[in-house]
Amino acid sequence: MSRCVIVGGADIADYPHIKQYLKAGDYNIFCDSGLKHMEKLAVQPDLIVGDFDSWSVPQMDVETVVLPSVKDDTDTVYAVREAKKRGFSEVLMIGVTGGRVDHTLGNLYILYDLDEAGIRAMIADDYSEMTVVSDQTEYITGQYPFFSLLNMTGKAEGIDIKNAKYELKNAAIQSGYQYGISNEVTKGRTAEVSVRNGKLLLIKVVRE
């Protein structure tokens, strides 16, 4: 099954950079004002969802779900539910960070939800790539100037970081004390990150 790309309404400054993440064959879900990115991303929606409180209901020959304005799920969460329902095993989210911090944090937690469902997921923005590390080892090449590990819930244990400026062995990070910020890959090596219990948010910085 092709990958699902979910396009939100947060600002994108560097369209050429974000376009590098898009691939032919992606299934594209545009959320409400995410439609403002359609032309500059040069992709067409396969599905449009939203309550259209920040964008006019589009008049396009595309499957469109108009959501009620009073609801528990954000438009992005609804799009994620559709991605799950339609059987995608990989999800990329763009246009979902920046601006309102409440929406940004909510969207970051979606990565945890998708990880729980066994779906490989990433958020990409102008500055970084964000994924969840749980039961798999993540590799970070030297193309990334910095990377950070954040624990957004509870306690993560058995954390190993290899081939980095700041290495860890069988360490723990609690959500109340974040000391895994702004690490660097050892020159000429590939860093490895793993966690035995819990989940960590891995942020790979593509540029400062």
How confident is the model over 151-202, as pLDDT tens digits? Answer: 988 889 999 999 999 999 999 999 989 999 999 999 999 999 999 999 999 9
Q: How confident is the model at residue 207 (pLDDT cuts 50, 70, 90)?
A: confident
Which residue intervals of the chain bear CATH 3.40.50.10240?
A: 4-126
| Residue 169 CB coordination number (10 Å) | 9
Once rounded to an integer, what is the mean pLDDT over residues 31-52?
A: 94
Sign of CA dihedral 51, 27, 17, 132: positive
pLDDT at 47 over 90: yes
CA–CA separation, 203 and 139 (whole Å): 12
Which residue intervals of the chain bear CATH 2.60.120.320?
A: 133-205
Q: How confident is the model at residue 1 (pLDDT cuts 50, 70, 90)?
A: low
Once rounded to an integer, what is the mean pLDDT over residues 47-53?
A: 89
* Beta bridge partner(s), residue 197: 157
Q: What is the pLDDT of residue 73?
A: 85
Q: How confident is the model at residue 146 (pLDDT cuts 50, 70, 90)?
A: very high
Q: How is domain 133-205 classified at the CATH fold level?
A: Jelly Rolls (2.60.120)
Q: How is domain 4-126 classified at the CATH fold level?
A: Rossmann fold (3.40.50)
pLDDT at 208 over 90: no
